[in-house]
Amino acid sequence: MQASVLTGPHEIRLEERPVPTPAADEVLVRVTAVGVCGSDAHYYREGRIGDHVVGGPLVLGHEAAGVVVAVGSGVADTRIGQRVSVEPQRPDPTSAQSRAGRYNLCPAMEFFATPPIDGALAEYVLIQSVFAHSVPDEISDEAAALFEPLSVGIASARKARITPGSSVLITGAGPVGLVTAQVARAFGATTVIVSDIDESRRVNAATFGATQVIDPAVDDVRALEVDAFIDASGAARAVVDGIHAVRPGGTVVLVGMGASDYAVPISLIQNRELVLTGVFRYANTWPTARELVLAGLVDLDSMVTARFGLDGVEDALNADKVAGSIKAVVIPGLKKETNA
The reported pLDDT for the residue numbered 336 is 67
- pLDDT on residue 258: 83
According to the model, what pLDDT value does residue 333 have? 82
pLDDT at 51: 85
Calculate the alpha carbon distances from 252 to 51, 202, 231, 243 in Å: 25, 21, 8, 7
CATH superfamily of 152-278: NAD(P)-binding Rossmann-like Domain (3.40.50.720)
Distance CA 38, CA 175 (A): 9
- 280 neighbors 255 (Cβ within 8 angstroms): no
pLDDT in tens, the chain (340 residues): 999 999 999 999 999 999 999 999 999 999 999 999 999 999 999 999 888 899 999 999 999 999 999 999 999 999 999 999 999 999 999 999 999 999 999 999 999 999 999 999 999 999 999 999 999 999 999 999 999 999 999 999 999 999 999 999 999 999 999 999 999 999 999 999 999 999 999 999 999 999 999 999 999 999 999 999 999 999 999 999 999 999 999 999 999 988 888 999 999 999 999 999 999 999 999 999 999 999 999 999 999 999 999 999 999 999 999 989 999 999 998 876 544 4
- The CATH code belonging to domain 2-146+300-338 is 3.90.180.10
What is the Cβ-side half-sphere exposure of residue 250, based on CA atoms within 13 angstroms?
22
DSSP result, 43-109: HHHHSEETTEE--S-EE---EEEEEEEEE-TTS-GGGTT-EEEE--EE--TTSHHHHTT-GGG-TT-
Over the stretch 302-319, which tens digit does the pLDDT of each residue have?
999 999 999 999 999 999
Supply the pTM of this predicted model. Answer: 0.96
**In whole angstroms, what is the distance from residue 213 CA to residue 201 CA?**
10
**Residues 148-169 pLDDT 10s:** 999 999 999 999 999 999 999 9
28 pairs with which residues across the strands? 70, 126
Instruction: Show me where the domains of the chain are located.
Output: 2-146+300-338, 152-278
Round to whole Å and give the CA distance between 83 and 284: 19
Compute how many other C-beta atoms are within 10 angstroms of the C-beta atom of residue 265. 14
